[in-house]
């Protein structure tokens, strides 16, 4: 076995998410990495990669590793409390970096804010704005879906779903673009600090909006719901509210922009009979989006965790602070997980659905993300039932987190 391992090519020769080959077709590299074993050392990132879904699910559920960015061995030093900016006050000890007990408390008490009834109510706020966006687009022969539609959807969600007034939008816009970079371990210290400062400015605005909302609390939006939860739960604090909102408008915006591009591309690239099936209902689309995500394989990195101490994990000795990456997308074209994986089938069964995580760290905003996608795509195919790709979109190698397109030109075929 040792001799066989020595004859294997270097890991970076078979897996490089920043390569042109990966952007054009990540499947061979994902399958090759998974074949190396259940846990693989990836030298370029100084990280272990967990490749098998059953191990990833166990890790998500049992949480033997830390999700605290400051536990990473290459993270900047955790600042002392008397030096915290708004960013640290909101993040340290609250829901994105919370220790397990507090994180589970946050999940439990905020569950009503993400219920089916709330999602339905939010739809009524977002839907008119989506229609307005398409009204402003008109009936062009060709348009860039990414620039004209997808780029604006996160903004609509912020102003109509979270409840941040539009008057604050010009100030808070930048955090939409950079918030997730504050926690990305692969970028430069300069990029991370710029993202941190953007987040500080956004938090100033959110705190101002919270003060305004406390003075006029009876409003029907996500922020008002969180403020009511705060009044009823002593351990749920303003920092938790700020962190949840930042997660929705930052991380949510980043993933929504990627999801918008791949949803349109996947539906137009495959059998058009799939479109009606995918958009038959919000529940049908919820399942279809799992297939869109599987078929597209847009992820580059996965979910980062960190060893909280020197420890044994999956038979390997981990040093304190080392990164461990969960990569569920490695399974997406593996026939051991999916029958006929090359086929795009929006009615494919996903059990369990792990696209948004699993267990205690399952993405709490998953239902909201899928609903705004459903609304936008329904409007697109209602307005332009014969829409098609105007060209094969070129991949954008500058995105740090996902395989995305430089533009997504659509031909409307309006008669």
pLDDT 10s digits, 111-164? 776 667 777 777 788 889 899 999 999 999 999 999 999 988 877 776 777 777
For residue 70, what pLDDT is reported? 84
CA dihedral 322, 318, 79, 242 (to 10 degrees): 70
Q: β-strand 409-411 against 39-42: which pairing, if any?
A: unpaired
Q: Which residues pair with 66 in a beta bridge?
A: 306
The arithmetic mean of pLDDT across residues 161-182, rounded, is: 71
Q: d(Cα 312, Cα 319) in Å, to the nearest integer? A: 9
Reduce the DSSP state of residue 298 to 3 states and report it. coil
| pLDDT higher than 80, residue 249 | no
Query: What digits encode the pLDDT tens for the residues 196-206?
Result: 888 888 888 88
CA dihedral 98, 99, 101, 107 (to 10 degrees): 30
Pairing of strands 323-326, 395-396: unpaired
**Cα 272 to Cα 385: distance, rounded to the nearest angstrom:** 10
pLDDT of residue 364: 67
Angle, helices 238-246 vs 222-232, to 10°: value is 150
Per-residue confidence (pLDDT) for residue 137, from 0 to 100: 96
pLDDT higher at 372 or 333 = 333
> Are 8 and 385 a contacting pair, CB within 8 Å?
no
Q: What is the average pLDDT score of the chain? A: 85
Cβ atoms < 10 Å from Cβ of 138: 10
Q: How far apart are CA 412 and CA 270, in angstroms?
A: 17
Q: Give the model's pLDDT for residue 17.
A: 93
| Residue keyed to tokens 């993270």 | 75
- Mean pLDDT, residues 224-235 taken together: 84
And the tokens for 112?
A: 């009503």
Q: Given pLDDT bands bounded at 50, 70 and 90, which one contains residue 2?
A: very low
Main-chain phi, psi angles of 16, to 5 degrees: -145, 95
CA separation for the pair 387, 136 (Å, rounded) = 18
Task: Please name the CATH architecture into which domain 2-75+84-411 falls.
Answer: Orthogonal Bundle (1.10)
- pLDDT of res. 89: 74
Residue 83, pLDDT > 70, answer yes
Phi-psi region of 403 (alpha: psi -120 to 50; beta: other; left: phi over 0): beta
289: left (phi over 0), alpha (psi -120 to 50) or beta: alpha
What is the predicted pLDDT for the residue at 97? 56
For residue 165, pLDDT over 90 is answered with no
Across 319-328, 332-341, 358-367, least confident range: 358-367
Query: Cα separation of 259 and 96, whole Å?
Result: 22
Residue scoring higher pLDDT (197 or 56) = 56
β-strand partners of 402? 299
Which band of pLDDT confidence, cut at 50, 70 and 90, is reported for residue 319? very high
pLDDT at residue 45, as a whole number: 93
Q: Each residue of 151-160: pLDDT tens digit?
A: 888 777 767 7
pTM for this entry: 0.86
Least confident of 281-295, 313-327, 356-370: 356-370
pLDDT at 306 over 90: yes
Out of 22-31, 241-250, 391-400, which region has the weakest mean confidence (pLDDT)?
Answer: 241-250
Distance, in Å, from the CA atom of 354 to the CA atom of 123, rounded to the nearest integer, reads: 24
Average pLDDT over residues 266-294: 95
Q: How confident is the model at residue 358 (pLDDT cuts 50, 70, 90)?
A: low
Give me the pLDDT at residue 1, please. 36
Determine the angle formed by the axes of helices 238-246 and 100-110, rounding to 10 degrees: 80
- Of 83-87, 309-313, 334-338, the range with the highest mean pLDDT is 309-313
The pair of structure tokens assigned to 73 is: 């061995």
Percent of the chain at pLDDT exceeding 90 = 46
- Note the pLDDT of residue 94: 56
Helix (H, G, I), strand (E, B) or coil at 145: helix
């Amino acid at each position: 076995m040792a001799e066989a391992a020595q004859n294997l090519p270097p890991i970076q020769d078979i897996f490089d998410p920043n390569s042109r080959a990966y952007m054009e077709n990540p499947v061979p590299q994902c399958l090759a990495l998974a074949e190396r074993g259940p846990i693989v050392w990836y030298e370029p990132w100084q990280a272990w990669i967990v490749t098998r879904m059953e191990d990833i699910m166990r890790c998500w559920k049992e949480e033997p590793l830390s999700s605290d960015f400051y536990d990473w061995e290459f993270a900047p030093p955790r600042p002392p409390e008397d030096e915290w900016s708004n960013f640290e006050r909101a993040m340290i000890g609250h829901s994105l970096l919370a220790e397990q007990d507090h994180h589970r408390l946050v999940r439990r008490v905020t569950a009503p804010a993400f219920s089916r009834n709330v999602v339905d109510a939010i739809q009524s706020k977002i839907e008119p704005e989506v229609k307005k966006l398409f009204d402003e687009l008109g009936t062009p022969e060709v348009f860039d879906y990414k620039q004209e539609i997808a780029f604006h959807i996160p903004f609509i969600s912020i102003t109509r779903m979270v409840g941040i007034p539009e008057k604050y939008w010009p100030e808070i816009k930048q955090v939409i673009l950079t918030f997730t970079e504050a926690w990305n371990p692969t970028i430069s210290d300069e990029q991370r600090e710029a993202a941190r400062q953007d987040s500080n400015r956004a938090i100033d605005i959110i705190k101002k909006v919270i003060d305004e909302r406390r003075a006029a609390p009876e409003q029907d939006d996500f922020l008002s719901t969180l403020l009511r939860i705060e009044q009823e739960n002593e351990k749920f604090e303003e920092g938790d509210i700020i962190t949840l909102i930042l997660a929705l408008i930052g991380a949510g915006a980043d993933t929504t922009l990627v999801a918008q591009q791949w949803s349109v591309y996947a539906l137009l690239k495959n059998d058009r009979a799939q479109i009606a099936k995918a958009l038959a209902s919000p529940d049908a689309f919820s399942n279809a989006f799992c297939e869109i995500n599987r078929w597209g394989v847009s992820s580059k990195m996965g979910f980062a965790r960190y060893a909280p101490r020197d420890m044994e994990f999956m038979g390997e000795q981990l040093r304190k602070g080392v990164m461990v990456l969960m990569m569920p997308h490695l399974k997406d074209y593996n026939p051991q997980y999916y029958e006929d994986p090359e086929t795009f089938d929006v009615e494919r069964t996903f059990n369990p659905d792990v696209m948004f995580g699993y267990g205690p760290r399952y993405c709490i905003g998953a239902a909201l993300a899928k609903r705004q996608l459903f609304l936008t795509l329904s409007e697109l195919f209602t307005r332009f039932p014969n829409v098609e790709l105007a060209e094969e979109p070129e991949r954008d190698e500058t995105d740090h987190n996902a395989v995305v397109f430089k533009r997504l030109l659509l031909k409307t075929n309006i008669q």
